[in-house]
A = this chain, B = another copy of it.
Amino acid sequence: MSKNPIKHVVLFKFKEGTSESQVTEIIEGYKALPGKISVMKHFEWGKDISVENLNQGFTHCFITTFEDEAGRDAYIPHEAHQAYVKVLLPHLDKLLVLDFSPEVGQ
């Protein structure tokens, strides 16, 4: 199993009708996960501010860094992650998850 770091890219599109306070609560829930799941070595997120009209409806991006694939594999079934997913999913219209082991350019 690779020991290369893994970047875990997650995009959300909320359902129409999801209130601002629900969106905030869901974001706060994600932000709380690194405090509960030690394999989340770095976490960053933000709201889409792209100008090319190619976001395919997704509005929020969250990137977690795991030390290696074993970290990612420990995260997915972690009870704090699973509990979060249960709260999250009813509010999502679309969800995208893509992981990669980064090759770094300049």
B102 touches A55 (CB 8 A): no
- How far, in Å, is A56 (CB) from chain B's closest CB? 5
A104 interfacial contact with B, CB 8 Å:
yes
Q: Mark A34-63, 1 if CB is under 8 A from B, else 0.
A: 110000111111111111101110101101
Contact of A101 among B34, B42, B46 (CB under 8 A): B46
A55 touches B97 (CB 8 A): yes
Chain B residues, Cβ within 8 Å of A96: 11, 54-56, 58, 96
Docked Cα-Cα span, A56 to B72, in Å, equals 19
A76 interfacial contact with B, CB 8 Å:
yes
Q: Mark A73-97, 1 if CB is under 8 A from B, else 0.
A: 1001000000000000000001111
Chain B residues, Cβ within 8 Å of A26: none
A106 interfacial contact with B, CB 8 Å:
yes
